Amino acid sequence: DAKTTQPPSMDCAEGRAANLPCNHSTISGNEYVYWYRQIHSQGPQYIIHGLKNNETNEMASLIITEDRKSSTLILPHATLRDTAVYYCIVRVEDSNYQLIWGAGTKLIIKP
């Protein structure tokens, strides 16, 4: 079973910030939180990852709560091309670094 829970779908207006939540209440101290997205008919694309500090890159920001039981992916200025399924994943340390994929959040950016 996936170790994360996400809302099944979200809408966001183009140009606004998209905030995607993820709960991972059973996360272990040495497990990282990864975010990927999958645009229709393409392979998943890495977005960002973090352990306990907030992270930012050219694509997004990742905010992890102090207790590490939840996180939020922020797309600061969403465009129509950001419409995709977004997956929040906790990396399993002891299984060849296997990723356990949940159902993800279908993010729809509306003009």
Partner 1 sequence: SAVISQKPSRDICQRGTSLTIQCQVDSQVTMMFWYRQQPGQSLTLIATANQGSEATYESGFVIDKFPISRPNLTFSTLTVSNMSPEDSSIYLCSVERGQAFYGYTFGSGTRLTVV
| Residue 13 within binding range of partner 1, rule CB under 8 A | no
| Residue 55 within binding range of partner 1, rule CB under 8 A | no
| Residue 41 within binding range of partner 1, rule CB under 8 A | yes
For the stretch 21-48, what's the b/e string if a residue is b when 16 or more beta carbons lie within 10 angstroms of its beta carbon? ebbbeebeeebebbbbbbeeeeebeebb
| Residue 97 within binding range of partner 1, rule CB under 8 A | yes
| Residue 8 within binding range of partner 1, rule CB under 8 A | no
Residue with tokens 């809302």: 7
Report the chain's C-alpha Rg in angstroms: 13
Query: How far apart, in whole angstroms, are the C-alpha atoms of residue 104 and residue 21?
Result: 10
Question: Cβ of residue 85: shortest distance to partner 1, in angstroms?
Answer: 8
| Residue 98 within binding range of partner 1, rule CB under 8 A | yes
Query: How far apart, in whole angstroms, are the C-alpha atoms of residue 3 and residue 81?
Result: 28
Question: Cβ of residue 38: shortest distance to partner 1, in angstroms?
Answer: 8
Residues making contact with partner 1 (CB under 8 A):
2, 32, 34, 36, 41-46, 49, 87, 96-99, 101-104
